[in-house]
Amino acid sequence: MSMTENAGELKMVTFALGQQTFGIDMRSLIEIREWAPPTPLPSVASYILGVTNLRGTVVPIVGLAERLGWTPSEIHSRSCVLVVSIAGKQAGFLVDEVNDIVAIKEDAIQPAPDVEIQDTNVIAGLVQITTRGSEGDGDAAASSMVLMLDLDALTVTSTAATAASAIGAHGLHDAAAATPASVPGGLDLAA
């Protein structure tokens, strides 16, 4: 598997959320940070967990699980925040675990069948990838399905999402109750 950027190839960051493996285009990714409880916001959709300080910029943190209409992610030691750029705005997505960076052929992305996820279809396509380190274990186990997320379709930062349309209105407060004092420092600050 080549990691160099070739024509027709794109790099994808894969991560786990719930029982699924998702992928986003590497070009949208700004950085990966450790989870730190964000400052909760009043009067916002429940999937907006709050805002955090990214080098002096106020960036919203989105619970991707809540956004997809699932039960909120449980915070554990491998929880991370993927900071991405969507149409010029930045947002952090809480995910369960970051897996890998893989290069895929653009034509290997299959159109998503009409997956029923909430109101809009946020899956840009499906990709089959060979899981690292499992080569030779048998073909079925060696490959897995990745759901490519359509970041634009998530519309987390562009529209004034109303609380009325949000599901699980208590998610905000669960996150807020975790620890009021925030822990400074993401991965980028370790250096």
Partner 1 sequence: MSDELDEIQAIFFEECAEGLLAAEQGLAAMQGGDTSPKTIASVFRAVHSIKGGAGAFGHAALTAFAHRFENVLDEIRAGRIAPTQSVITVMLGAFDKVSDHVAAAQGTMGLPDDAASLAALEAVLAGQDAAPAMVEAPAPVQVPIVVEAPVSEEIDPFGFEPVTVAIEDLGGSDAAPAMPVDPEWTILFAPSRDAMANGAEPILVIRELEGMGAQVVGVDTSALPPLRDLDPENAYLRWTISLPGDVGEDQIGDCFDFVAPDSIVEVTRTNGEPLPPAPVEPDAPLREPGAIHDLLHRVEAASPAIFAAATTTAATTAADAPAKQDPRTADTASQTIRVDLHKLDMLLNLVGELVIRGSILSDRLSPADQQRVELPEQARLTREIQDTVMSLRAQPIRQAFNRVPRMLRDLTAETGKQVVLETQGETTEVDKGVIEKIGDPLTHLIRNAVDHGIESPDERLRAGKPAQGTIRLSAAQKGARIIVTVADDGRGIDRARVRAKAIEKGLIGADAVLSDEEIDQLICAPGFSTATTVSNISGRGVGMDVVRSNVEALGGRVDISSTPGRGTVFTLVLPLTLAILDGMVVRLAGQRFVLPLAHVVEAIRPEPGQVRSTTPGSEVIEVRGTYLPVRRLIQTFGLPDPNPLPPEESLVIIVESETAGKVGLIVDTIDDRREVVIKSLEQNLHPIRGLGGATILGDGSIALILDVDALVAPLSRTLTRGLAA
| DSSP-derived secondary structure for 8-35 | TEEEEEEEEETTEEEEEEGGGEEEEEE-
Enter the tokens of residue 161.
């999402």
- Considering the rule CB under 8 A, would residue 158 count as an interface residue with partner 1? yes
- Applying CB under 8 A, among 20, 28, 79, 90 the residue interacting with partner 1 is 90
Q: Per-residue x/- marks for partner 1, 53-72, CB under 8 A? A: x-xxxxxx------------
Candidates 185, 188, 178; CA nearest to 50 is: 178
* Number of residues counted as binding partner 1 (CB under 8 A): 39
- Considering the rule CB under 8 A, would residue 82 count as an interface residue with partner 1? no
Enter the tokens of residue 56.
């002096």
- Applying CB under 8 A, among 8, 42, 111, 138 the residue interacting with partner 1 is 42
- Considering the rule CB under 8 A, would residue 43 count as an interface residue with partner 1? yes
- Applying CB under 8 A, among 38, 65, 73, 146 the residue interacting with partner 1 is 38
- 3 state DSSP class of 66: helix
